[in-house]
Amino acid sequence: MIISDDNKSKIIKQKNPELNTSINANSDFQEDSYEKNIRPMDFDNYIGQSSIKETLKITIEAAKKRGTTLDHLLLYGPPGLGKTTLAQIIAKEMNANIKITSAPSIEKPRDIIGILMQLKDGDILFIDEIHRLNKIAEEILYPAMEDYVIDLTTGKSQSVKTMRIKIPKFTLIGATTKAGSLSGPLRDRFGIIHRLEYYTNEELAQIVKRTASILDLKIEDEGALTIATCSRYTPRIANRLVKRSADWALVKADGIITKDVAKEALKSLDIDEIGLDTTDRNMLKIIINSFSGGPVGIETIAVALGEDIQTIEDVYEPFLIQKGLLARTPRGRKVTRLAYEHLGINFNNKNSQLNLF
Ligand code: ADE
């Protein structure tokens, strides 16, 4: 599988993001340094998401003019669209430190208390996968976000005491693939909410060319567009495919990523001309072959496919729905006629089979 969320359990603290990064042991250093090298560091180099960019620029300028911190900000959308990158750009524009963490790594109350107490005035705290924050951590965050205080309790039963500690003014940037899974009270405490949209193929082709130029790779326009078209509208995937196509170009061709080189590289990865990988196709085929095209519940699909529900919901399903190959109905997921056509399976046979019952 090409996509994975690298940011899990990772804590990074940065002043200016490109200057000072320390990453804990859990991260994959090679992938990190690759992503870091090609990561845009300002709005000018950040391609796409133009309406969010324009709104954010105004918000940042206004906060700077007033001399205040930025309102707490929630970024949501599918994985790999650049939520972390955007948070780092915001920090740079605000001249602020950014501390990057993810909700699954905040297990105990002391984890979130420790993070909050180490913040300095104006710092940005980025919490990835914020929908996975546990209830206790969430309740510690409420007064921290609202009044910049932490309520600590000490002692047991009758001798329990509460202590209110002031913390510096900070901005929380939360990122999630599932805004709907956030509790109401947490969502309500974000002053700004932005949904990141999938990228167009043209935007992705620009990203591919930018990445190739940073890495000193030769790429033709058609090669860039071929990679873009197969990248599930997602920059993280486009950038990984640039790397794989560059390997292919170096070993099997003359080093230039042409349309044909990109096509061959993608074929070797079992990615088809519209960007579906083996798991996407298997998912559609299982629904067609074992469940007459659906509707079928997500739990059943997950068991039949051997994937976890979260990955199906976050990674596979949104893309298949976007492509018009899958539909969500109240009774479960259903494969569309387009999916039958794409897989070369006769849609009418399905109907005549169903008509027998
Ligand atoms: N790399 C990843 N996302 C990007 C973006 N939005 N613009 C430029 N390069 C990127």
Answer yes or no: 59 catalytic.
no
DSSP for 322-350 reads: HTTSEEEETTEEEE-HHHHHHHT--HHHH
Task: Name the residue of 85, 211, 242 whose CB sits within 8 Å of the most ligand 1 atoms, as the mutation to test its pocket.
Answer: 85
Is 85 a pocket residue for ligand 1 (Cβ < 6 Å)?
yes
Is pLDDT of 190 > 80?
Answer: yes
207-233 per-position pLDDT tens digit: 999 999 999 999 999 999 999 999 999
- DSSP assigned state of 157: G
Closest CA to 86 of 95, 75, 100: 75
Is 122 a pocket residue for ligand 1 (Cβ < 6 Å)?
no
Is pLDDT of 354 > 60?
Answer: no
DSSP for 293-312 reads: T--B-HHHHHHHHT--HHHI
Give the predicted TM-score (pTM) of the model. 0.86
Cβ of 252: how many Cβ atoms within 10 Å? 11
pLDDT for 161 equals 87
Closest-CA residue, ligand 1 atom 1, reads 39
Look up residue 235 and give its two tokens.
């920059």
pLDDT for 23 equals 26
Is 262 a pocket residue for ligand 1 (Cβ < 6 Å)?
no
Cβ of 250: how many Cβ atoms within 10 Å? 14
The single-letter code of the amino acid at 335 is: V
Task: Give the sign of the dihedral formed by CA 113, CA 118, CA 124, CA 127.
Answer: negative
Cβ of 7: how many Cβ atoms within 10 Å? 22
CA distances 355 to 223, 287, 341, 349, Å, are 46, 18, 20, 10
107-148 per-position pLDDT tens digit: 999 999 999 999 999 999 999 999 999 999 999 999 999 999
Q: Scan for tokens 């999938």, then name that residue.
A: 198
What distance in Å separates the CA atoms of residue 84 and residue 75, rounded to the nearest whole number? 9
